[in-house]
Amino acid sequence: MINNEKIVNKKVMKKTIIGITVVGKDREGIVASFTNFVFQNGGNIEKVNQNVIKGLFGMYLEASFTDIINVKKFDSGIQILSKKEKMDVNTHHETNLEKNIGVFVTKEPLCIETILDATKKKLLNGKISVIIGTEKTLENIAKKVKIPFILIEESNQDKAEEEIIKVCKKYEIDLIVLARYMKILSPNFVWRYPNRIINIHPSLLPAFPGAVAYAQAYERGTKIVGVTSHYVTENLDQGPIILQDSFKVDPNDTLEQIKSKGQKLEADTLLKAIKMHLENKLEVRWRKVHIKSKSMQ
């Protein structure tokens, strides 16, 4: 028997995803205030993560909207709420447009040179909008490719981060890359860019954390030395691991030879991690990085 009922093809609405970061002095009612705002605007909470360290509150909300939403109106409304609640709030909208990348450097050039070469060859779905340095060593590299170089010499890390936050907002940074940046970022900064700060570390974490990993590996006679690219969290060198790679150490290798091999591998591994992030291939679940299937991208 043929069923003559009309079949209606419903058009599946594409979700609009808005990431919301809330940072400020801890007190009661903040979570409810911002989650209720999302609900009142027809949104659904996909993810929520909150932390409190020494009275500093940080929260990341990922809200989805199946109906058409006026993003500008939403952003305007949440900024009004942020002033009322005395919190610093930022929104981030994932799109297929070219992402703005902010690269943080100190004095080692190979990572930033490798990234710049990749952007020149159009291998990345993004552009380096600004380079932020703690000293002038790499300023000429930025000048050669006509990318703004912002020097942050402030020794007080809290004040330095205030300056960096202003720069990142000015250039509407989507992704931050730590290209051998030798400063430890505080929770106050990291919480504003959840899973949007990528670091490279010269060891197969969790082994040999800190700034002298190659020397530690050399002193211990390690037979395999590697590097780890990971997302940055408030816990030093403990963020979700994106990629790891390694090379064998010859017993006759000097510390400088190990460093040289390692620095080349650092640059290549960092570039791979950046590329995967920009292509929306990475997803963080339960502190682990998962590679998305094609159907999820």
Q: State yes or no: is 26 an active-site residue.
A: no
Catalytic residue among 26, 237, 253, 268: 237
Q: How many whole angstroms separate alpha carbon 278 and alpha carbon 105?
A: 20
Point out the residues that are catalytic: 237
